[in-house]
Structure 1
Amino acid sequence: MNSIALVFSAGLAAGAMNALAGGGSFVSLPALIAAGVPPVQANTSSTVALFPGGLASAWAYRDGLRPVGSVSLRALLATTLCGGFAGALLLLWTSSAAFTFVLPWLLLVASIALAFGRRIGEALRARWHIHANAVLAVQFMLGVYGGYFGGAVGIMMIAIWGLLDNSDIKHLNAPRTLLVSAANMVAVLAFIVANAVHWPETLVMLVGAIIGGYSGARIGRRTPPRVIRAVTLLVTSCITLAFFVKTYAPLLLHR
């Protein structure tokens, strides 16, 4: 019962985080590992569990769906689907030991994106603009990252989209939620076909993530962005530090 409560609560929090600022996997993945799911399967199960919550958020933002600058939403969607499938296959080919070793670094990359993604995007926009074809190439790589791990991938998408001449940063939340869900969709299908999902924990987390995702999208329209950002960064930083200590401290002590 304690594991069920832990996984459900993590689903609520992760779904809300994804709707508000991204980074829901920072909560869902550690919770599944704490519940006894092996690391790679915890990541696949987390992706499956958070997928419906992402769809709920995309539905809440549906009125804002539009092209990103000069790039059609259809082209971005197709590119993201291909990248997400490639990332899912890469994860399935990764051993648990290798994933455990690289996980803290994935969390660190996601934490940096959450903390500084907006500033980096603004600095890049002030100096460079890129062609639509380049955006699609980078979008494919982000799709790969989304299918493999996906932490803060939505923030990374917005930073890249901002380099388009005609992009409107204020209206990118809707396509962000849709395309993050697209990368997750093909990953979910691959994980299910590969029988890489721990269903009891996943289904419990899935219910919580649906509730959290839709509620988070509603709350995000009323909560000051500074509050959302501060809470998100605090959570992600603490979890990232904990995983570095857990993974690498024993290695240092044995030297």
Structure 2
Amino acid sequence: MELLEAAAILLAGVAAGSINAVVGSGTLITFPTLLAFGVPPVTANVSNNLGLVPGSVAGAVGYRRELTGQKSRVLRLLSASFAGGLAGAVLLLVLPEGAFEAIVPVLIGLGVALVIFQPRLSGWVAARAEHRPESTRDGAWWVWPGVLLTGVYGGYFGAAQGVLLMAVLGIGIDEGLQRLNAVKNVLAAVVNGVAGLLFAIVADVDWRIVALIGVGSVIGGFLGAKVGRRLHPTVLRAVIVVVGVVALVALLVT
């Protein structure tokens, strides 16, 4: 691995860690970067997933103040994220590699679309929050299954997993969005962690990539929690969309 390539992957990890803490679409930065350097799609996916685990934890730690008073809620939803992340990782490993290569453009396209429409989605979530009954204080009945399905998606690929989680949590739980974002960071860390552990045991992992993204994502996770919220979301969204579209076009023409 050349120095320039290593530096680019490290910086992609910093960007992804920061974006994951604030928005939740960092894979749309790191995954296309790895593909651009010729890393096979499945190897890129599992190595990226492992590398982003420390950054997810850093983002959760950075939002620890917003987690105050949410212990029971987090513990209840952790089981859904754990089961979903494990199921998604197993699907990635048991399905043929060609199946993943075929569906990657669809998943990247979905991730880009979610990022593009996130302002409208967030506005809808906020509007629904004003009219939710008190019974949703601890979460509507479908929140747990929704988190489970989001975990399956995250364990399999993970781009824009955070956007999906915020939609489920924001619509189904009567709580402020910043506090729910803190819960989102914990749940995403669990999905990435359980999938990453399985990948570390049985998958083809490039540990150099894991180390570079891991170091970068930790730096980015703390930056995102402390500084990223001050950045204009349009700037972050534009970067993610451009990278995602470029990756999508590259995959479709090759």
Same-fold call, TM > 0.5?
Answer: yes
* Aligned residue among 215, 240, 245 for 1:241: 245
- 3-state SS, counterpart of residue 43 of structure 2: helix
TM-score normalised according to structure 1 size: 0.87
Contact 1:16 1:217 in 2 (8 A): yes
CA RMSD of aligned residues (A): 2.3
Contact 1:100 1:247 in 2 (8 A): no
Question: 1:196 & 1:106 partners in 2: Cα distance?
Answer: 21
Question: 1:85 & 1:239 partners in 2: Cα distance?
Answer: 28
> Would you identify which runs of 4 or more consecutive aligned residues in structure 1 move more than 6 Å?
127-131
Shift of 1:185: 0.8
Shift of 1:121: 4.9
Contact 2:19 2:236 in 1 (8 A): yes
Contact 2:150 2:165 in 1 (8 A): yes
Contact 1:51 1:181 in 2 (8 A): yes
- 3-state SS, counterpart of residue 22 of structure 1: coil
Shift of 1:135: 0.9
* Aligned residue among 195, 201, 222 for 1:193: 201
Question: Equivalent pairs: percent with the same residue?
Answer: 34
* Aligned residue among 234, 238, 243 for 1:230: 234
* Aligned residue among 207, 227, 233 for 2:215: 207
The alignment status of 1:151 with 2:153, answered yes or no, reads no
Contact 1:83 1:141 in 2 (8 A): yes
Question: 2:185 & 2:245 partners in 1: Cα distance?
Answer: 27
CA change 1:139–1:52 in 2 (3 A) is: same
Structure 2: any 5+ residue segments left out of the alignment?
A: none
Count of aligned pairs: 245
Shift of 1:67: 6.8
Question: 1:179 & 1:115 partners in 2: Cα distance?
Answer: 23
Shift of 1:249: 3.0
* Aligned residue among 36, 55, 58 for 1:56: 58
CA change 1:76–1:220 in 2 (3 A) is: same
- 2:182 alignment partner AA: A
Contact 2:170 2:180 in 1 (8 A): no
The alignment status of 1:136 with 2:144, answered yes or no, reads yes
CA change 1:82–1:7 in 2 (3 A) is: same
- Give the aligned partner of residue 79 of structure 2: 78
1:184-237 CA-partner distances (Å, limit 9, x unpaired): 11101110011321111221221111111112211124x14xx2x222222222
Contact 2:62 2:221 in 1 (8 A): no
- 2:88 alignment partner AA: G
Instruction: Within 5 Å, give how 1:112-191 maps onto structure 2.
Output: 112-123=113-124, 126=128, 132-164=140-172, 166-191=174-199
Structure 1: any 5+ residue segments left out of the alignment?
A: 251-255
